[in-house]
Structure 1
């Protein structure tokens, strides 16, 4: 689960047509550059963009696989750096080793808390959590609902959207975090612990989630929790340094992300092929996993219900504020970021025109 000024590229009337042509031309499954650290300049003085991503079905993977950003910004050195959780993405931004990154709404709220908030802003919505994040318990464990997790061992990546949703699910069921044994594990470690039966249940995302479902029973999903008032999203954030240094690059990046969202709707088979190549899974599995997420169209991303527009932040700001308050109530952070701090952490320049 961060915004952009409008530059000359964003104002060109043929931008969308050019991007669509780039997307159509990129038919081969290719992988992006593996990342490293460094500053704003790459080899030979070329401009550099360091992008953090998750191995999770999304438009991000489509942009990476089809090299859409590399084609749109040929003068840039693009580095794609894989992360396992939002906590590590936050650390990377603190260490100034990322320019753009995928980040869940819960770790984003964490990043804005405290006396020294992370210098980044949300610029795009990658997806809204649906059935692609869920709580699963072992079959035959005697766990039939969230309330029956009392006294059991439950794993989730701490400081992630799954962690947030797990806490919300426990609260709704009248169970406190101290009533269960919470274990901090990354997705692959969750799978190993699950296979050894070291844990009774886990809240995690795809593709690990699908592997747990083969021998587990789903208790609740992020889609259900979202409907009850605690939605989670995969956002894309950009560093304050990039905003001040190279807003045009953010414009172009946001344009190709918007085009990827259109492609997921208009060409689900082609999108599944690209996602399958990135995740090393079958096209059918990729198609199934894509169907479990909620992908907005670009016009929805910049709507009042979600990101909003320049000068008029959308409801997403309220969701992030509520998330921070919940995390503070749960003693996950010392204090929630203020409503103004959240609003200030939205980069909406150029919206909605920049993604039409």
Structure 2
């Protein structure tokens, strides 16, 4: 696999990124009681500037209303890799995380101490592979030898690898470049890259001068779905499971609001992303949002001691990443199962 020059060592880059993440988090000291200096219980929540129920929970302060005595801080992240680093640094209690970086996080001899506890959304047209129109590329096979940018260790990265494989290309047949969404847009505008696999809102900017070659909706339908999950730290599970219950119920309410109050949801997303209502509505229309009943069903997350098909999806993702040499070895299904927190999940339906 071809990559851009790395510059400083990965260890230094990791340390710098981790320090920046930790500094950004309110009250990032890791004490077992999870309390701020004022004595209030603390929840540090990582989220993405990406249309989902998470933005409704944040904008409507659903969690703050449910837990009025808690000090709740919301920290924005650009990618799952940064979320994983923050959990390693014990700077987060709850966070959004793609299924691919989650599979990475639970692999290896020292898995990240967190567990999946909710499903935010299923990737659809909101994550796609786009080629610059100027290149003349109209299908994935035409990317051979071309420069393709994507945030490494993300769901888009996983879907890109799956798209290349389906087109008969290996990762070594193209030049893969690790870039976050905003740098992808800048590189695209300069003509430094030929294509990119990324998510909204950057994706919509690329579409203005690009041809969409495939999407995560198509790749998912072909057997490799990706999802935006929500994970909770092992420490939070041990010390405050009731806070997780309240957070799940807030997420369930947000999923219901996406169906019952679509215009209100549009206003929430527009406010959180500082975009027009029309743009927010267009972005929401590209996602796939489950109902709370679907989340806890056997077809997805499952309940208590009966994990659903998500277990298979994450396990398969791990195998694929190992086959692609993205991780050293795939986590077993048993290892993935241990990284599910399903206790009390069915209570969100009450």
Do both share a fold (TM > 0.5)? yes
Match of 1:140 among 126, 134, 137: 134
Q: 1:36 to 1:180 in 2, by over 3 A?
A: farther
Q: Deviations over 1:157-201 (max 9, x none)?
A: 000000000000000000010110000000000000011010000
1:156-195 to 2 correspondences below 5 Å? 156-195=150-189
Does the CA contact (< 8 Å) of 2:292 and 2:348 recur in 1?
no
Q: 1:254 to 1:144 in 2, by over 3 A?
A: same
Does the CA contact (< 8 Å) of 1:122 and 1:235 recur in 2?
yes
1:47-66 to 2 correspondences below 5 Å? 47-66=41-60
Match of 1:203 among 181, 197, 206: 197
Residue 134 of structure 2 aligns to a residue in which SS? coil
Deviation at 1:36, TM superposition (A): 5.1
1:37 alignment partner in structure 2:
28
Deviation at 1:353, TM superposition (A): 2.4
- The farther-off stretch of 74-83 and 136-145 is 136-145
Q: 1:34 to 1:344 in 2, by over 3 A?
A: closer
Q: Distance in 1 between matches of 2:271 and 2:134?
A: 35
Unaligned segments of structure 1, at least 5 residues: 1-32
Compute the RMSD of aligned alpha carbons. Answer: 1.1
Q: Deviations over 1:184-233 (max 9, x none)?
A: 00000000001101000000000000010011110000000000000000
Deviation at 1:350, TM superposition (A): 1.1
The number of residues matched between the two structures is 324
2:336 alignment partner in structure 1:
342
Q: Distance in 2 between matches of 1:158 and 1:230?
A: 17
Residue 293 of structure 1 aligns to a residue in which SS? coil
Q: Distance in 2 between matches of 1:63 and 1:353?
A: 18
2:318 alignment partner in structure 1:
324
Alignment partner of 1:105 is 2:99: yes
1:271 alignment partner in structure 2:
265
Q: Distance in 1 between matches of 2:130 and 2:25?
A: 32
Residue 136 of structure 1 aligns to a residue in which SS? strand
Q: Distance in 2 between matches of 1:101 and 1:221?
A: 24
Alignment partner of 1:220 is 2:220: no
Deviation at 1:35, TM superposition (A): 4.0
1:28 alignment partner in structure 2:
none
Residue 237 of structure 1 aligns to a residue in which SS? strand
Residue 304 of structure 1 aligns to a residue in which SS? coil
Deviation at 1:352, TM superposition (A): 1.6
Q: Deviations over 1:41-72 (max 9, x none)?
A: 11311100000000000000111111111111
Q: Distance in 2 between matches of 1:60 and 1:225?
A: 24
Q: Deviations over 1:212-263 (max 9, x none)?
A: 0011110000000000000000000000000000000000000000000000
Q: Deviations over 1:284-338 (max 9, x none)?
A: 1001100100000000000000000101000000000000000000000000001
Match of 2:66 among 66, 72, 82: 72
2:117 alignment partner in structure 1:
123
Alignment partner of 1:297 is 2:291: yes
2:276 alignment partner in structure 1:
282
Does the CA contact (< 8 Å) of 1:254 and 1:355 recur in 2?
no
Q: Distance in 2 between matches of 1:311 and 1:239?
A: 19
